[in-house]
Amino acid sequence: MTVFTVDQRDYAARAEAVAEEFTDDAYTWEGSVPWENLQRLAEKDLYCPSISEEYGGQGRSDLAALLLIEAVGRACPDTGWFTYMQSMVGPRAIDLFGSEAVKSEYLPAVTAGESFVSIAISEPQAGSDVNNMSTTVTEEDGTLVCNGEKTWVGGVPFGDAAVTWVRFPEGLGSVVIPYDDDGVEIEEVYTNMAGYAQTRFSINDVVIPDDHVLTRGKDAFKRQLISLNWERLGSSALTVAWAATALDRALAYASEREQFEQKLDEFQGIEWKIAEMYRNVETAASLIYGCAAGAQGHEEPPSRLRTSTAKLHCSQIAEEVVSEAVQVVGARAYQQGHPLEYLYRFARSRRIAAGTDEMQLNTIARALKADGLPAVSER
Ligand SMILES: Cc1cc2nc3c(=O)[nH]c(=O)nc-3n(C[C@H](O)[C@H](O)[C@H](O)COP(=O)(O)OP(=O)(O)OC[C@H]3O[C@@H](n4cnc5c(N)ncnc54)[C@H](O)[C@@H]3O)c2cc1C
């Protein structure tokens, strides 16, 4: 933690203190929203830290958001997920790219912990292949009109709107679409392994006011991709938090459970498992914060090479560490209702969401081929 400033450490300590309050109800949320926790974070001036102050955020750095996500995610995995989604994903795009009107309409309720804004990118025929998306915004008599279909979108049942990636005549861009528009039709609601809804909805002749356009034009897609770099670090902080909490549980259990007349943590085989779990958590955290430390908001974002490496590594070690924690605890951890059983299901999602492992590998390979290895002076 010495790499952080005093202010950042103080912020992380405040986040940990408030997150501690969430532990009693942790692992009870499966599929629902811990609104009271989000509101408690907002009351304590912790929630959505990198969103502008005038819309209820704190105007802090994106690094603060990573610290918050990790602190909250360790105490309560679900509150951590909502903290990540609202600090680093949809609302952040509105704050970065939106008009005053759209920011005023959506951000104050989000930053108060009273509303949710989704991100809608995936389509039935365009998952990893985002460029293949067919949701369009066309101009008809000077009016922008959106048509298409989005799928796997999180937060629709309790959200107000989606930051929606679309195709304009000149290329990809993004707009904000409210769910209460008559042209938005819910087609299918799936329930994922962690119990949350993921929704497929169609967009039928939805009129997009000019001030609901977030990005459009020559550099629109590039700007969106840059903001994804921070989102990927947010996902990484969340998965490291889950891995850390799994390790914590394994440590506690192994220090109490006895077999063959000794504590589990006295067997060298278990000690080595725990040491390996820690090695994974620590290397993953170093990747995230090392990557974030050199970046400055949207102007100097973290590099695609390092963010993809962090996202890939953190998603994979989370699955591995949680699985090893299940192994240390044994049959108890495999039962429905056990925190590790839930974490195991929840953690699996991050190797697919926000860009699959394979897409991160593609990005890493492309960045290395294009730019070579970063120099020592770029570390
Ligand atoms: C929990 C969860 C939450 C999500 N939330 C949202 C959300 O809120 N909003 C949203 O828009 N989407 C969301 N998604 C969707 C997610 O973004 C997509 O699932 C993801 O982009 C992959 O698309 P796909 O599932 O269609 O898989 P596909 O793209 O069909 O890929 C299937 C498999 O093939 C691999 N593959 C594909 N192309 C290549 C290639 N070129 N080289 C090597 N391997 C390849 C993939 O990596 C994957 O393993 C969520 C997904 C999950 C699991």
Q: Is the full-model pTM beyond 0.85?
A: yes
Kindly list the structural domains of the chain, giving each domain's residue range(s) and its CATH number in brackets, ordered by start: 6-111 (1.10.540.10), 117-216 (2.40.110.10), 219-378 (1.20.140.10)
Q: Which of 128, 165, 345, 359 to mutate to test the pocket of ligand 1 (most atoms within 8 A of CB)?
A: 128
Of all protein residues, the one whose alpha carbon is nearest to atom 9 of ligand 1 is 153
pLDDT score, position 250: 98
Question: How remote is the C-alpha of 167 from its chain's centroid?
Answer: 24
| Ligand 1 centroid – CA 127 distance (Å) | 5
**Is 127 near ligand 1, meaning CB less than 6 Å away?**
yes
The dihedrals phi and psi of 36, each to the nearest 5 degrees, come to -60, -35
pLDDT score, position 173: 96
Tell me the mean pLDDT per 10 residues along the chain, length 379.
Answer: 83 98 95 97 98 97 96 98 97 96 98 98 97 96 97 96 97 97 98 97 98 94 87 97 98 98 98 98 96 81 94 98 98 97 98 98 97 89
**Is 254 near ligand 1, meaning CB less than 6 Å away?**
no
pLDDT score, position 224: 86
| Ligand 1 centroid – CA 131 distance (Å) | 13
Residues 6+ apart with CB under 8 A from 176: 94, 98, 102, 106, 117, 161, 162, 163, 164, 212, 214
The 10 Å Cβ neighbour count of residue 125 is 11
**Is 358 near ligand 1, meaning CB less than 6 Å away?**
yes
Residues 6+ apart with CB under 8 A from 377: none
Residues 6+ apart with CB under 8 A from 168: 136, 137, 216, 220
**Is 121 near ligand 1, meaning CB less than 6 Å away?**
yes
Which stretches of 21-99 are DSSP H helices? 35-43, 62-75, 77-88, 90-97
SS3 content of the chain, % helix, strand, coil (to 5): 55, 20, 25
pLDDT score, position 1: 42
| Ligand 1 centroid – CA 154 distance (Å) | 13
